[in-house]
Structure 1
Amino acid sequence: MNLRFAFIAAPLLTFAYGVIRILDGLDCSRGPGLAWTTGHLAFMAALVLFVQIFWQLRAMAGRDTVSTVSAVAGTAGIATLLAQFGIDIVVGFMAADHDGMSVLFDQVQSVPGVSPIVYDGGPFLFYLAQLALVLQLAVMRRVKAWMPALVLLDLALPFADKDLIPLGALCLLISFVPLARRAPAPAVVAAA
């Protein structure tokens, strides 16, 4: 996979998720339906790209213990977010309306371990690892000092209001453009 593509596509897919989420909520109810499913699939695609991004950031940091722990934690966070968004999609398909989704979510989250791992704790590993890796690169002076600030803004805005996800994604895109330029180009296969 082209790492340059990943650094640009992941924030753009996150932006798409945020915009679709806003559009889905215009009727004062999110899900179920096409917008619910499409938005979730967009973010899941971004998460898959973030796996490559985390491991590339680890390589840029020198593959040391700190960057390795961050990349592993981030990948674990991605796994929990993929599980969460997968559950969301399944619930969206199973429910006839938003109230039906609430009942199904309550059933899923009542399963021991699901709520603390998939919804409460696990996803934070993704966000913390992302910030940790970029901070490490900034401390090592391998990225500009403003980059962690933009990544932190991207991570903080949705906690203030989830409708700010698109704005946060734009901050992430701005911070990732220089990383995309530095990422290794895809290998060219010579014709025989």
Structure 2
Amino acid sequence: MAFAAPLLLLAYGVLRWMDGLDGHRDKQGAAWIVGHLAFFGSMVLFAMIAVALFRRTRMGRRIAAVAAAVSVFGVACFLWVIVGDLSASFRDRWPLPGPLEITGPLLFVLGMSVLLSLQVAAGRVPVWSPILFFLGYLAISVNLDLLPLAALVILAATVPLGRPGTGSRRVTPAVSRLH
């Protein structure tokens, strides 16, 4: 999941870029549809990552539970928009309320950043992991054309999660090593 989620996001970014080469986006074209399906899959995997990070958290369980719930809620907002992009009838019948269009993605990013930060505190991922994750999504919010680059930054952030033994490894947190 740690590799597949950002790689699907990268596929979406590349397909989105290819779709816009002629100056407009073809909302019925193959690049649009396949790209959005890749984006949908990416977001489902990110929700699964959020739940997995919650499950592996030992210290700060309550914070992790809230962060995971917030992340999954944010993913649900993303999925709602993606389905609306793929189906005009869905979007017209059930539009995502305006405030959720802004807060949903923000909640996802903040929740994942907290979950990754808890993994830093537990000594399971490097300190740059949550920072890169946040910066990747910040780049997307600045300009959607930065999606391919942002996906690579997010991949760099999640790679440590995919290392063998990361989920079960018990590393003494840096804070407790000081005592």
TM-score (norm 1): 0.77
In angstroms, what is the RMSD of aligned CA positions?
2.1
Whether 1:163 and 2:145 are equivalent positions in the alignment is: yes
**Distance (whole Å) between structure 2 residues aligned to residue 146 and residue 53 of structure 1:** 18
Alpha-carbon shift at residue 108 of structure 1 (Å): 6.1
Which structure has more RCO (C-alpha within 8 Å, separation ≥ 6)?
1
Give the aligned residue type for 1:24: D
Pairwise CA distance, 1:115: 2.2
Aligned to 1:57: 53
Matched-pair identity in %: 35
Deviant stretches of 4+, over 6 Å: none
The CA distance in 2 between the partners of 1:115 and 1:31, in whole Å, is 24
Q: CA deviation at 1:169?
A: 1.0
Residues 50 and 68 in structure 2, CA contact (< 8 A), matched pair in contact too: yes
Gapped regions of structure 2 (runs ≥ 5): 169-179
* 1:147 Cα deviation after fit: 1.2
Paired residue total: 164
Contact 2:126 2:160 in 1 (8 A): no
Gaps of 5+ in 1: 1-5, 95-103, 185-192
Aligned to 1:128: 110
2:127 pairs with one of 131, 145, 157: 145
> Which amino acid counterpart does residue 89 of structure 1 have in structure 2?
L
Q: Which residue of 1 aligns with 2:174?
A: none
Structure with greater helix share of residues: 1
Q: Following TM superposition, by how much is the alpha carbon of 1:65 offset from its aligned partner in structure 2, in angstroms?
A: 0.3
The equivalent residue for 1:41 is 37
Q: Determine if the alignment matches structure 1 residue 70 to structure 2 residue 67.
A: yes
| Alignment check: 8 A CA contact 1:108 1:114 kept | no
